[in-house]
Structure 1
Amino acid sequence: MIPEEKLQSVIARFEAVQSEMNSEVPRDRFVALSREFSELAPIAAAIGKLNAAQREYEDAEALLRVRDMAEMAREEIDRLNEELPRLEHELQLMLLPKDAADERNVILEVRAGTGGDEAALFAGDLFRMYERYAASQGWSVELISASEGEMGGYKEIIAGISGRGVYAKLKFESGVHRVQRVPVTEGGGRIHTSAATVAVLPEPEEVDVEIDEKDLRIDVFRASGAGGQHVNKTESAVRITHIPTGIVVSQQDEKSQHKNKARAMQLMRAKLYDAERERIDRARSAERKGQVGSGDRSERIRTYNFPQSRVTDHRINLTLHKLDQIIAGEALGELIDALVAEDQAARLAALGDEA
C-alpha cells in the first residue's frame, strides 16, 4: 500500500503549483512551474482514479447487506479486486524516483572491440540498429564523427540522438555487445566471436558541468583521412584534454576548426557529466545492487547469435529468437521495454524493503 500521507503531499503540491501558475509570476518561474505541472498532472489523475475506485469498493461492501443488491455488489467487488491492484501498481511506477537525465538527449558511441574487421562490421550493424530504432521513435540522429573500417562498418562512430525521453529508453544499452556469426571474410564457414562497445551518454545542460578553461589543453592539427593521408592543408582538427581527469576528445570531421572545437567541447561536457554520474552511482552502489546493469562499459550485456537467430540479454536472462527484427531496429523495443520493466520491479522491491 502507498502511504496516504505521500499521496496527500503529491496532491497538495499539484494544487500549489496550479495556484501559483494562475498568479503573476516571472517568465522563468512560469516555465519551471509548467514543467512541474506536466509531471504532476498524470500522477494527480492516477491518484484520483485510485481514490474513486476505493470509494466504489466501500459502497459495494455496504450494498452487500442489502438483500436485493447483494449479487450486484459481489460482481462489483470482484471487478474492483482486479482493478485496484492494477491502479495501485501503475501509481507506484509513477511515484518511483526519476532519473534526472531520463528526458535528456544522448551522445551514442559505438566502437569496434575484439575481432578486427568483423568487429567493425558489427559496430556498423549496431549503429544502424539504433538509427532505425530512433527513427521509429520519432527521434533525430546527427552524426558527430566516424572512423570507417577497412572492410566496411566502423572502428568508431559517434552521433547525437535527440527527442523525447531518449536517455530513458537507451540508457541500458551501454556495455559490451557480442556477436557470433560466420564472417563474410571466412571461407571455411566457421563461426567467429567478436564484440563492440556501446556507450550512451546523457547530454548535459550548461548548468550541469562547469569547465575551467585552465583545466583544458587544446591542440590543433591537420585532419587526416583513411591511410593517414592529409585531407586538409590547414590545422582544422582539434584535440581537447581535460587535465584533472585525463579525458581526451578529438574532432576532425568538420572543415572549420571552430566547428570541430564546438563539437569536441560538446563531447567533453557529456563525458565529464557521465563521469560525475558514475562517481555518484558508485557512492550509492548498495542502493543499485538490484538494478539492471551497472553502466560499466566493460560489462558483457548481450549476445547476438546469427546461426541460431537469437539475441540474449544476459542481465535479465531474456532470449528472443528474432535476431533479424532486432538488428533491423523493429523488435529492439521489446528488449528495451523488458529492461525498463525489470529495473522498475527492482526499484519497487527496494522501496518495499525500505518501508
Structure 2
Amino acid sequence: MWEKLEAIEQQFEELTAKIADPEVMAEQRRWREYVKHHAELEPIVSAYREYKRVQAGIEEAEALLQQEQDQELRELAQEEWETLRERREWLERELRLMLLPRDPDDERSVILEIRAGTGGEEAALFAADLLRMYLRYAEKRGWKTELLSTNATDLGGVKEVVVSIEGKGVYSLLKFESGVHRVQRVPVTETGGRIHTSAATVAVLPAAEEVDVEIDPKEIRVDTFCASGHGGQSVNTTYSAVRITHLPTGIVVTCQDERSQLKNRDKAMKILRARLMERKRQEQEAAIAAERRSQVKSGDRSERVRTYNFPQNRVTDHRINLTLYRLEEILEGDLDELLTALAAADQAERLRQIS
C-alpha cells in the first residue's frame, strides 16, 4: 500500500507542474483532464502527507520517552504518543478505503425498473409501493425523476414501471437495491384476513449516454401502434406508442405513456441504452471471472434481498442481516440507514479481500 501511495504522491506532483505549464494550458482539453485527475488524487495525497507527519510525531514522542527523565515531560510525551497513535490508525483505515477501486458508474444517474413478481394483484400493489418509496427518497435527495414507461393495473398497482432518476451519485446509493423484494401482509383483496407473501423485482441500471453505447440504426426495428389502457382497450387513435427491438440481443423496449411518438421513441432509446450497457458490463464481469461474490454486491435479479413484514412493522435486509422496526418510515422514503449499512458492508468486504 505504501509503495502505491508514494507513486500517487509523485504523480500528483507531476500533475501540479503540468497544470501550471503554459503550453499545457493552451490545450484546454488536455489541461482539463489533468485538472480533473489532480482533483481526484488530492484527497489521497493530503491524507498520506498527514499520515507521514503523524508518523514523524510518533517517532519524536517515542525518542523523548526513551531519553527524557523529567516525569512531567514524560507524561506529556506519553499523552501525545497515544493521541498520535489513534490518529495514525484512523488515517490508515481511510487510506485503505481511498485506494479501493472505484465503481466507474458511481457518479451516474440511473434507470430504475420495478416489476411485479409472484402474488398477482397484490404483487402489483407492492410494486407501486416500492415505486412510491424510491420517488420519495429521490425527492428528499433533490434528484430529478421521470416516468419512462408504466404498465398499471385497475386497482392502482403496476405490473412494470421504468423510471429515470437523475442526479450526482445516484447509482452509488441505489445500486444495492437490485434484486427480489418480498412483502408479507394482508392484501386488500383478501377477505379472510390471511397474511400473503408476494414479491417484486427491482433492477437499478446506470444511465447510459449516446457516447457510452453506440446503437447502429440498422440493428433496431421500430414498430408503432396505438397506445392501450387497462384491459387492452385503445386510448389513443394515433400511432404514438413505440416498440423498439434490438435485433442482435433481442432486447425489446416499449413506451406508450406520451402522446407524442417522438417522445416515446426518445424514452425507449434511453431505456435501451441502459439495458445494453448493463448487458455489456455483465458480459465483461463474467469474462474475467469477476462476479461480485459478496451478497451485498450481487446484482442477481433472482436474489431475495429484502423482506417487508407489515404485521411486525419490520424490514429485513437478508444480505447483511439488518432488521429495522420502522417499516412505515422506510416506505415513505427514509432509506438512509439501510443504504448506509449496505455501503459500509460493501466497503468492509472489499477491504477484507485485499487485506
- TM-score (ref. length: structure 1): 0.94
Q: Is 1:340–2:321 an aligned residue pair? A: no
Task: Tell me: CA distance 1:347–1:146, structure 2 relative to 1, closer, same or farther (3 Å).
Answer: same
Instruction: After TM superposition, give the deviation of residue 291 of structure 1 in Å.
Output: 5.6
Contact 1:291 1:346 in 2 (8 A): no
Question: Could you report, residue by residue, the CA deviation over 1:316-351 in whole angstroms, capped at 9, with x for unpaired residues?
Answer: 111111211211112x11111111111111111111
The answer to whether 1:310 aligns with 2:314 is: yes
Cα offset for 1:125? 1.0
Deviations 1:119-157 (A, max 9, x none): 111111111111111122221211112121221131111
Per-residue deviation, 1:25: 3.9
Contact 2:179 2:299 in 1 (8 A): yes
Take 2:166 and 2:195, find their aligned partners in 1: how far apart are those partners? 37
Question: Which range is displaced more, 253-262 or 96-105?
Answer: 253-262
Q: Does 1:46 align with 2:44?
A: no
Please state if 1:163 is matched with 2:164: no
* Aligned pairs, number: 349
How far apart are the structure 2 equivalents of 1:291 and 1:72? 48
Three-state SS of the structure 1 residue aligned to 2:249 is: coil
Task: Look up the match of 1:14.
Answer: 12
- C-alpha change, 1:286 and 1:265, in structure 2 (3 Å) is closer
- For 1:113 and 1:139, locate their aligned partners in 2 and report how far apart those are by CA, in whole Å: 27
SS at the partner of 1:260?
helix
Choose the corresponding residue for 1:213, options 200, 214, 217. Answer: 217
Say which is worse superposed, 279-288 or 152-161, in terms of deviation.
279-288
Distance in 2 of aligned mates of 1:91 and 1:189: 54
Aligned equivalents of 2:320, 2:285: Cα separation in 1: 20
The partner residue of 1:277 within 275, 281, 285 is 281
Displacement of 1:286: 5.2
CA contact (8 A) 2:153 2:230 kept: no
**Corresponding position: 1:226 with 2:230:** yes
Structure 2: runs of 5+ lacking an equivalent: none
2:204 aligned with 1:186: no
Paired with 1:156 and 1:272, the residues of 2 have a C-alpha distance of 19
Query: Alpha-carbon deviation of 1:6?
Result: 0.7
Query: Percent of aligned positions with the same letter in both sequences?
Result: 57
Counterpart CA distance in 1 for 2:158 and 2:343 is 29
Q: Which runs of 5+ in 1 are unaligned?
A: none
Corresponding letter in the other structure for 1:91: L
Letter in 2 for 1:337: T
Q: Distance in 2 between matches of 1:137 and 1:28?
A: 32
Distance 1:286 1:273, change over 3 A: closer
Whether the aligned pair in 1 keeps the contact of 2:149 and 2:255 (CA below 8 Å) is: yes
Partners of 2:295 and 2:319 within 8 A in 1: no
Distance in 2 (CA, whole Å) between partners of 1:237 and 1:101 is 31
Q: What is the Cα deviation at residue 61 of structure 1?
A: 0.9
Q: TM-score, normalised by structure 2?
A: 0.94
Query: Per the alignment, in what secondary structure is the counterpart of residue 211 of structure 2?
Result: helix
The residue correspondences of 1:26-41 to structure 2 (distance < 5 A) are 26-41=27-42
